[in-house]
Amino acid sequence: MIYWGVIGALTLILLFSAINILREYERGVIFTLGRFSGAKGPGLIIVIPVIQQMVRVDLRTIVLDVPKQDVISRDNVSVKVNAVVYFRIVDPGKAIIQVANPFEATSQLAQTTLRSVLGQHELDEMLAERERLNTDVQQILDSSTDVWGIKVSHVEIKHVDLDETMIRAIAKQAEAERTRRAKVIHAEGEKQAAAMLVEAAQLLGADPRAIQLRYMQTLTELGNERSNTIVFPMPIDLLTPLVKKLGGSD
């Protein structure tokens, strides 16, 4: 009687151990007598005890924080850069068979790739073209982890840390650039104003009456000034018609 009870208990234990329930985001990599026989799930999975073994694999997106890396840019500037990598397993079989620890392997590969890619660019590119650098690192990681059954969907450079000396140098460079732009804008304004003055002078010189009208307008403006004495030069062009008329009368 006891014998049959032990057999029944062992049977129940084996039966319950054979039943596995996988969630929607899980897959089970099945090995039969040590050989890979496929990936199953989600739902109810039956695994033959002793003969078969199952390894659970999570298919959700993993957020990997890449620690700060010492990078020397192409213009010999030392910076510290860290990033975050978003990846997920798309082939459970490869992720279990091809690499011992897919998460650790992806982390180490991300660190070396980040140093390699950023080291090919200058500091200004690291600061101004971060989106392009993110894409370059993501493409290299994605192609390298494809044999592991891993898909790298996105890479984001978080911080580019500089020392105080370099921060002051960049501030001086930015100030010099703003000064240069201000001088260029001022010079462009002077050039445009000079061109307009030349054009106005040509228009006024085309007809002597225009000069007289402009002269009278200037006198009107000076008359509104609160001053006891106004010294205003008399242009010789205004007297020329009068001189010619008097000369003709003589």
**Mapping DSSP to helix (H, G, I), strand (E, B) and coil, where does residue 72 land?**
strand
The parent domain of residue 33 ranges over 2-58
Q: Is the peptide bond before 208 cis (omega within 30 degrees of 0)?
A: no
Give the CATH number, domain containing residue 139: 3.30.479.30
Q: Is residue 248 part of a domain?
A: no
DSSP of 75-106, one letter per residue?
Answer: TS-EEEEEEEEEEEES-HHHHHHT-S-HHHHH
Are residue 6 and residue 70 in the same domain, yes or no? no
Are residue 79 and residue 147 in the same domain, yes or no? yes
Looking up tokens 């991300």, which residue turns up? 110
pLDDT at 44 over 80: yes
Other CB atoms closer than 10 Å to residue 33's CB: what's the count? 10
Residue 172's pLDDT is what? 75
Are residue 36 and residue 18 in the same domain, yes or no? yes
Residue 246's pLDDT is what? 63
Looking up tokens 């007809």, which residue turns up? 207
Q: Maximum Cα–Cα distance for the chain, whole Å? A: 159
Residue 49's pLDDT is what? 86
Return d(Cα 106, Cα 134) in angstroms, integer: 16
Are residue 13 and residue 30 in the same domain, yes or no? yes
Return d(Cα 205, Cα 85) in angstroms, integer: 72
Burial of 71-95, coded b for 16+ CB within 10 Å and e otherwise, reads bebeeebebebbbebebbbebbbbb
Q: What is the pLDDT of residues 85-126, one digit of tens each?
A: 999 999 999 999 999 899 999 999 999 999 999 999 988 888
Return d(Cα 164, Cα 170) in angstroms, integer: 10
Q: What is the pLDDT of residues 171-209, one digit of tens each?
A: 777 778 788 888 889 889 888 888 887 787 777 667 666
The separation between CA 67 and the C-alpha centre of its own chain, rounded to angstroms, equals 19
Average pLDDT of the chain is 83
Are residue 157 and residue 66 in the same domain, yes or no? yes
Are residue 73 and residue 106 in the same domain, yes or no? yes
Helices 164-205, 208-223: inter-axial angle, 10-degree rounding: 120
Are residue 89 and residue 138 in the same domain, yes or no? yes
The separation between CA 110 and the C-alpha centre of its own chain, rounded to angstroms, equals 18
pTM score > 0.85 for this model?
A: no
Looking up tokens 């040590």, which residue turns up? 34
